[in-house]
Structure 1
Amino acid sequence: MATRKENSTYSSNEKWIIECDLTYAVNKIGGRWKILIISKLESKVHRFSELKKELPFITERMLALQLRALEKDGLVKRTIYAEIPPRVEYELTEMALEFGPIFKQLSIWGGKHRSDTNSSS
């Protein structure tokens, strides 16, 4: 992974982003796939192949990158079992499970306003 210059614009902006609690939270779950991955893991533990089947539109590489980012951020726990072949399972951490009610409210909001936006186009 490439390192960023300490005085780059991105590094400066990143420091400001984590100062705001809301922006910090959105940054942890932001992106195209993280919320979908979290929602799939909310109901049960999944192996990589199971997640891939449930999210067929995401590439394996992107799924691996997003799972790695979620793990790094403390939202996903990855467990490797010493079997042949190795079995790897992904599950949400307690911190990620706290997003459940928030996602439910966002979903309600989205359902309410998506049709408003689509009809005015």
Structure 2
Amino acid sequence: MKKFYYQNNNLLLFTSVLFFVILIPTPAQGLCIGPEACGILGATFLSIITIPICLLAFLLVFWPKTRTLLQGFAILPGFMAILTGYLMVIRVNRFDLFYVPLIHVCLMTAMIIVGRLTSKNTESQV
């Protein structure tokens, strides 16, 4: 009898998460009223996804052997800088949103600089 009750709790949890996922995009669809608004909305959502991924990639800094991988991961914010620059600044002519691609460029630059550090460079600076 206890297992049956536990299964109902899992079903209830799964159903509530499913309804949450289904109902969240409804307000976002109201924001997409034209191609310009859809470009801004799409670039913003992509930035929301990629910036945490890049920040998690910074965990590779702690191991000197994996620091060179950061230069490879710098492709992601570089690509996002180009994409958000096109979608938010060039296509829509919203130069007040220039800071969004600039965040990606700064993140890419930091990843490249930190990725080029070696243990010899850090020891000589100390």
After TM superposition, the score normalised by the length of structure 1 is 0.29
Of Structure 1 and Structure 2, the greater strand share is in 1
